[in-house]
Amino acid sequence: MLTRPTTHNHLAERVRRLFGTAPCRLQVAALPWRDAGNGVEVMLITSRDTGRWVLPKGWPEAREPLCEAAAREAAEEAGLRGNISHLE
């Protein structure tokens, strides 16, 4: 679980130290949610190909912070806009 904005290189390096020197590709995903007053609502989207429920996900670009990459993917794949929520 990420508790602060993290860059792709920082997290990829941590994964490399844990699992060895094989190069890894890190994907990010967004979990779109909102406070509905009486609880939290989570939005899922359906895949065009299979119709399955999925989360918007994709690859970070260059040195883009992971949380911003996830927000970009949510906008690109599902047309969602909102604020990034950081866990503390």
Q: What does the domain layout of the chain look like in residue ranges?
A: 26-78
- Predicted structure pTM score: 0.68
β-strand pairing of 28-29 with 33-35? unpaired
How far is the C-alpha of 5 from the C-alpha of 85, rounded, in Å? 10
- Between CA 55 and CA 82, with CA 60 as vertex, the angle to 5 degrees is 55
Centre a 10 Å sphere on the Cβ of residue 60 and count the other Cβ atoms it contains: 23
Q: What is the pLDDT of residues 59-80, one digit of tens each?
A: 998 888 888 999 999 999 999 9
Residue 62 per-residue DSSP state: T
How far is the C-alpha of 34 from the C-alpha of 55, rounded, in Å? 15
Q: How confident is the model at residue 1 (pLDDT cuts 50, 70, 90)?
A: very low
